[in-house]
Amino acid sequence: MADIRITGRMVNFTRLTFDTNDHDAIRQQLSQMLEDTGSHGATVILDSTVEQELIELIQLLISLDLQPMAVIDGLLADEARSIQFPVLPADRPLQRIKPTHEQVIEQNDDKDQNSDNSKQKSNAVNHVTSYHNEMLRTGQCLIQEHGDVILNASMNSGSEVIASGNIYVFGTTQGRMIAGASGDTTARIFCQCLNAELVSIAGTYCVADDIPADVAKKAVHIYLNDRQELVFEALEI
């Protein structure tokens, strides 16, 4: 009998990219982020656009109840290798494409009608739905930070759709679908033929090998249940 067994797969981590090496600023900002998102105990991957004292940074993150797992190959890589800390390969850059068209719904609020609240109105974020009518090819990415994405075509392997809200794909999905990217746990994914490399809602991931076999290549509705687990529900079409 083998002494090593694969007993499960865990794919749920957060990538942190640092644009400063001021650890006091990092502590302050991360503390607020953790308070807002409730992400204490999260496993994190580290990236940086500036030089860092990696050991001190790791200690800082641990003190904030985060679990540093690895760094992205780049500015942190040499120091990480010197302390035998894991280094993950850098991402292949995706080409962000423009949608075929967008629909903007203004977020109106009655209390914004008076002049005292004019600033609040100007700062309101509108809900935007991106519509795209062409196939997403390998290496392409369609992103909507303020709403939903509706793709009236299929997705090739190596393509990606990211939305702060819901994702609708009226075709075959062979790429990655990331809904609720800003933490919206009510976001949902609908697709006509599920064959995705990865699906995610509000940070909860499922890779291709773990997608239930009974919904593979079927029309599917994906959402989070009360325990924040992904649910795959086959649809009749």
Tell me what pLDDT residue 50 has: 93
CA distance 23 to 12: 25
pLDDT at position 91? 73
Instruction: Report domain extents, the chain.
Output: 14-88, 95-234
For position 44, what pLDDT does the model report? 86
CATH number for 95-234 (one of 3.40.50.300, 2.160.20.70, 2.40.50.1070, 3.40.50.10320): it is: 2.160.20.70
At residue 79, the pLDDT reads 94
CB atoms within 10 A of CB 162: 21
Q: What is the pTM of this model?
A: 0.64
Token readout for 207 is: 């890779």
pLDDT in tens, the chain (237 residues): 556 654 444 445 678 999 999 999 999 999 988 887 777 777 888 999 999 999 999 999 999 999 898 899 999 999 999 999 988 888 777 889 999 999 998 876 554 445 455 444 445 568 999 999 999 999 899 999 899 999 999 999 989 999 999 999 999 999 999 999 888 899 999 999 999 999 999 888 888 888 999 999 999 999 999 998 999 999 987
CATH of 14-88, one of 3.40.50.300, 3.65.10.10, 3.30.365.10, 3.30.70.260: 3.30.70.260
Task: Give the helix, strand, coil percentages of the chain, each rounded to 5.
Answer: 20, 35, 45
Rounded CA-CA distance 25/33 in Å is: 12
